[in-house]
A and B are shown apart, each in its own frame.
Chain A
């Protein structure tokens, strides 16, 4: 097949307030694997620190073992916020990624943020409090020190972490572009 170069990717549009109709079936955190599972809880907040009740987060763990395909792949989880802006996701804790791309990477996940009001989704990363490799992580160390904390989930239990997403304003979460 001859490649047709330089097609332009389709434009993004908001998920709107009703995405649960089509996307929420995949958000049950109890279906995650039990072994080495961590829980990440948090809130999605807007400019006024008001809860964003219609947000959806997707987590991608690049260190997940690529075992036999399952309906919902290991390393992927989707969570929707409740009326108070809370989300909860349960999945395998990421491992440190071998730095074969020249970048030292501490354990982390990519996080996609969708919500009414977001015409394009936002992309962030979540790291984990207490990992010694955080201090040498090539991405974290480029982030200004006063914003770095927005990318780090805080341990609040043995296998439990807390991480908030602030879309705008004070302590605005760092979002990335690639």
Chain B
């Protein structure tokens, strides 16, 4: 029989609602029926573990994937992935994708009239190390207009996709840049009610990791949901 969920749901205000009218696309896509709460089982407490063969040399350097150097402001992005208990998440797959310096995605659906950079694909991936650390080298993405509302512009951001210890810790989020005046105007950023939670998606300038005469660095630490402890359950691995 089903009992009370044994996993704590997210802290109030720290996750966006599904139905959020200021983000127009959510209105026809967000479910309206209440979600069904369940205790977690083997299904939820396990998850994929990705092998190092998945990562090729250069996958975490988005500036070195083509014959020439991409245009724009070269940056380092690095951080640590931990779970709710502060433990580093090792061998976590981190995948990123982003627009180029002009705010254009290299995708057929993106029709924004900004140049495509032949030397920039905008995709990278890596696995975290024993301390849960990851790093990328890339180009700072530009802001771009979108059709959500009148004069809508997305702040500069990098999309992050992460796998933690179990499938329930799966997270897709976006990293923003400090001091971007477009953030308070952006419905996607503002979909997170709690201000402190919103600000945790803003990276911080890291002069320790910046390289003189070469590139600035931004630190973006990510906390993933932990794996629930279900005392009566054996895990397959």
A residues in contact (CB < 8 Å) with B: 1-23, 25, 46-48, 50, 52, 54, 58, 60, 62, 66, 69-73, 75-76, 97, 100-103, 105, 108, 110, 112, 114-122, 125, 138-139, 142-143, 147, 167-169, 172-178
Contacts and interface: CB of A to CB of B under 8 A. Distances in A.
Contacts of B37: 176-178
A119 B110 CA distance: 20
A119 B16 contact: yes
Question: Which of A5, A12, A25, A108: most chain B CB closer than 10 A?
Answer: A12
Nearest to B50: A73
Nearest to B9: A177
B67 interface: no
B152 to A, nearest CB: 13
Given A5-B85, A9-B171, A168-B28, A73 B51 contact: yes
Contacts of A17: 107, 109-110
A18 B107 contact: yes
Contacts of A13: 16, 159, 172-174, 188-189, 191, 201
B85 A3 contact: yes
Contacts, number: 256
B200 A10 contact: yes
Nearest to A105: B41
7 contacts: A4-B82, A8-B200, A70-B53, A76-B48, A117-B27, A119-B17, A178-B7
A175 B35 contact: yes
Contact of B87 (A3, A48, A116, A119): A3
Given A9-B11, A18-B159, 19 more contacts: A7-B83, A9-B14, A9-B223, A10-B173, A21-B121, A25-B123, A72-B48, A72-B50, A97-B41, A118-B26, A119-B16, A120-B18, A138-B1, A139-B41, A142-B38, A168-B30, A176-B36, A177-B36, A177-B38
